[in-house]
Amino acid sequence: MKLSSLFVISIALIMVMGNNSIVMGQGPIFKDYNAIIVQELEVPSGSPAPGSSGLQMAEKAVYQLKRYNEKYKLFEAIAESKRSKEIPSGGKVLIIKGTVKEYTMSSVGRRIGRSFIPGGEYTGTAAFAAHYQFVDIENGKVIYETDLRTTSTGSNDTVEYAMDRNGEALAKIVTKFKGK
């Protein structure tokens, strides 16, 4: 019995370590880019997300990218698509575009249900998810794409806070792939 459980644990560790090396193996794929444009996210029809959530998420992403840019000096310019004239010419530009995948409002019922779980009262019930594509503006080629899903936390149980966290997660990905 001990031998089989040891075998299962070692297989699990090998799988985790193997997956971790795949993720860590990608190098700084955004290092040559000196400007970034964030487009308004698409909101699919029939989605519970309001139509303005795409623009709101783009604004939050630009805010978080500018925060990280101040600290790490990632790009010369960061702008929303409607302000793309602020981007200096003569450099590689990266476009971030995406689609809203989930927009879950906070729920008192879910919060009450989670209060019965030890530590569950600190988790939020609101969530936001989006699929992002990073596109080279010169050739229109998708360089990288990812899905990001973030939730709110206990005291900040709003979709807006989940969107703030999504913007920060996006900024962390850009920082990682910029090589900083």
Is-contact 166 57, C-beta < 8 A?
yes
Q: What are residue 136's DSSP bridge partners?
A: 94
Q: pLDDT of 41-65, one tens digit each?
A: 999 999 999 999 999 999 999 999 9
Is-contact 154 125, C-beta < 8 A?
no
Q: What is the pTM of this model?
A: 0.81
The domain defined by 32-178 carries CATH number 3.40.50.920: no
32 φ/ψ angles, rounded to the nearest 5 degrees? -85, -10
Q: For residue 10, what pLDDT is reported?
A: 63
Q: For residue 14, what pLDDT is reported?
A: 65
Q: Is beta strand 123-136 parallel, antiparallel or unpaired with respect to 93-104?
A: antiparallel
Residues of the chain with pLDDT under 50: 20-23
Locate 75 and state its tokens: 């790009």
The residues near 30 (Cβ < 8 Å, ≥ 6 apart) are 94, 134, 143, 174, 177, 178, 179
Q: pLDDT of 19-41, one tens digit each?
A: 544 445 578 999 999 999 999 99
29 φ/ψ angles, rounded to the nearest 5 degrees? -80, -15
